[in-house]
Amino acid sequence: MPPTVGTNVLGRKVLYLPSFFTYAKYIVHVDGKIGLFRGLSPRLMSNALSTVTRGSMKKVFPPDEIEQVSNKDDMKTSLRKVVKETSYEMMMQCVSRMLAHPLHVISMRCMVQFVGREAKYSGVLSSIGKIFKEEGFLGFFVGLIPHLLGDVVFLWGCNLLAHFINAYLVDDSFSQALAIRSYTKFVMGIAVSMLTYPFLLVGDLMAVNNCGLQAGLPPYSPVFKSWIHCWKYLSMQGQLFRGSSLLFRRVSSGSSFALE
């Protein structure tokens, strides 16, 4: 599938690269089906650690005092409950994210090795040793800040938007009011996740940037001084939402890529 050139809503030329499925097909062609599962082990361990952490925190800080929002609450009372509930969710999410992030870094580096056909990161334990030796303790937490910011913005944005929509836009007299309210948070989650995608992208790029792998070095990627530098660069290039769609991979036509 060859790349095509289109124009976005701002009149800027955009290069449409092959879709996710085309890339997946290419990976299978080069590495076989096993290539699609690079970085799976540390990712599963990261998810498991995050789940265990959240469960442990619920035991240490039980949410018994967290009041559930009721339709009988007035606006001030219901907002107070939403803020309290969101603060509790934010605390658990931030702690679990920080503890699981080192495994996420390893997972990302295992995946991007495909670009340079490298084998620097293989097992979890050996990867931990390499990162600590080359980058020190802080090497396990590169890209953490944008991920944390994305989580915080997502939680507050999703919960507050859902609350205000249910409180001010959904009329109790409407026969399907309860059904609509039950789906509001789910829909808001999808919408807010699209807006917070740049935080995820920047965090993942910083996790592999300048780590000794070709994918994180020129000409494949600039060397970024910080996640803010990375954000500004992507913004100038019109790439803050690259990879956000499974159907099209979009980047600014002004960007340059090294192709083999």
Count of beta carbons in the 10 Å neighbourhood of residue 116: 16
**Phi–psi pair at 258, nearest 5 degrees:** -90, 120
Instruction: List pLDDT tens digits, range 67-118.
Output: 555 554 555 667 888 898 999 999 999 999 999 999 999 999 999 999 899 9
Q: What is the CA radius of gyration of the chain?
A: 21
In the chain, the percentage of residues whose pLDDT exceeds 70 is 80
Predicted confidence at residue 260, as pLDDT, reads: 37
Set out the domains of the chain in order of their start, with CATH numbers. Answer: 1-37 (no CATH), 38-67+76-237 (1.50.40.10)
Average pLDDT over residues 63-67: 59
**Phi–psi pair at 16, nearest 5 degrees:** -95, 110
Predicted confidence at residue 253, as pLDDT, reads: 47
Q: Is the pTM of this model over 0.85?
A: no
- Give Cα separations from 30 to 26, 34, 116, 182 (angstroms): 6, 10, 12, 45
Distance CA 234, CA 239 (A): 5
Instruction: List pLDDT tens digits, range 20-63.
Output: 788 888 889 888 999 999 999 999 999 999 999 999 998 888 87
Beta bridge partners of 242: none
Instruction: List pLDDT tens digits, range 152-176.
Output: 999 999 999 988 888 877 766 666 7
Q: Is the Cα torsion angle 33, 34, 39, 41 positive or negative in sign? A: positive
